[in-house]
A and B are shown apart, each in its own frame.
Chain A
């Protein structure tokens, strides 16, 4: 959710310190992981508001207009052919950087941290339906960027 690694490391430390200080208040209503991620999410939101960074977001509806989700049948998206190279990782990081915080949060919590819809909903305090909508939009956005990279790689 944050723009650079240093900021992410600082916030991660704050998460553990806040968790340590607030451990007595943890009532066990949610899982420990959900509680920790909720602390992290709130800290990231606060940090972003403080720095008042303007995100250069790509229009999401544009991504939906240009790409049809049902294109994974082509060979480019074959997991055997799609190797996570440094270059591809950079393309993905760039796509994540141009994504809004709310979409990026849901995408990373679900696809990177393997959290379920209900758990994500409890972490960011939105309904499950909203989580699914944001996840779909985030993946569509990422697909557009990576699809472009894969297209240029094939032609290039």
Chain B
């Protein structure tokens, strides 16, 4: 690997295609070093650490639930207030003002034949003075 390439690698400069290929080859040759790093042991967290993490996660979940309930409650109040406002100001726009009932002109009812006969009979009774309600006694019927 030439000095110029090393300098460009240290500077993290953009490499040419040839330089990139040379770098890939150098990385391949560093395989044993990579295997050393891969062979480092992993530390397993203790049960105490896991319990502590679980407790923190539960506290975080409880906080999230509380804030979620508060948001829902406030949202419900806001929605109800908005609906009430709409009902007060908007509803009248959809109801038409009461208009007076139109005057319906109807033709006078012409009395029927029966009604004419009844009214004529009543008038005749009144003129003769006889009838059910007359004060004068009815003429003797022949006794």
Contacts and interface: CB of A to CB of B under 8 A. Distances in A.
Interface of A: 5, 9, 12-13, 16-17, 20-21, 60-61, 64, 68-70, 72, 77, 79, 82, 84, 88-89, 92-93, 107-108, 110-112, 114, 129-130, 132-137, 139-140, 142-143, 146
Main secondary structure of the interface of B (DSSP, over half): helix
Given A132-B27, A142-B36, 18 more contacts: A12-B45, A13-B49, A13-B53, A16-B57, A17-B53, A17-B57, A20-B57, A88-B36, A89-B41, A107-B37, A111-B37, A112-B37, A130-B12, A132-B23, A132-B24, A133-B23, A136-B23, A140-B30
A92 B53 CA distance: 30
Contacts of A64: 6, 9-10
Interface string B24-55: 10110111111111111101010001001100
B27 A135 contact: yes
Contact of A142 (B24, B33, B49, B57): B33
Nearest to A113: B38
Interface of B: 1, 6-7, 9-10, 12, 14-15, 20, 23-24, 26-27, 29-41, 43, 45, 49, 52-53, 56-57, 60-61, 64
Contacts of A79: 32, 35
B26 A69 contact: yes
A19 to B, nearest CB: 10
A-B complex: 6 closest residue pairs judged by Cβ atoms: A111-B37, A77-B32, A139-B30, A111-B34, A139-B33, A84-B39
Contacts of A82: 32, 36
Main secondary structure of the interface of A (DSSP, over half): helix
A84 to B, nearest CB: 5
Contacts, number: 97
A110 B36 contact: no
24 contacts: A9-B45, A9-B49, A16-B57, A20-B61, A61-B10, A64-B6, A72-B32, A82-B32, A82-B36, A84-B36, A84-B41, A89-B40, A108-B37, A111-B37, A114-B38, A130-B12, A132-B24, A132-B27, A136-B27, A137-B9, A139-B30, A140-B30, A142-B36, A142-B37
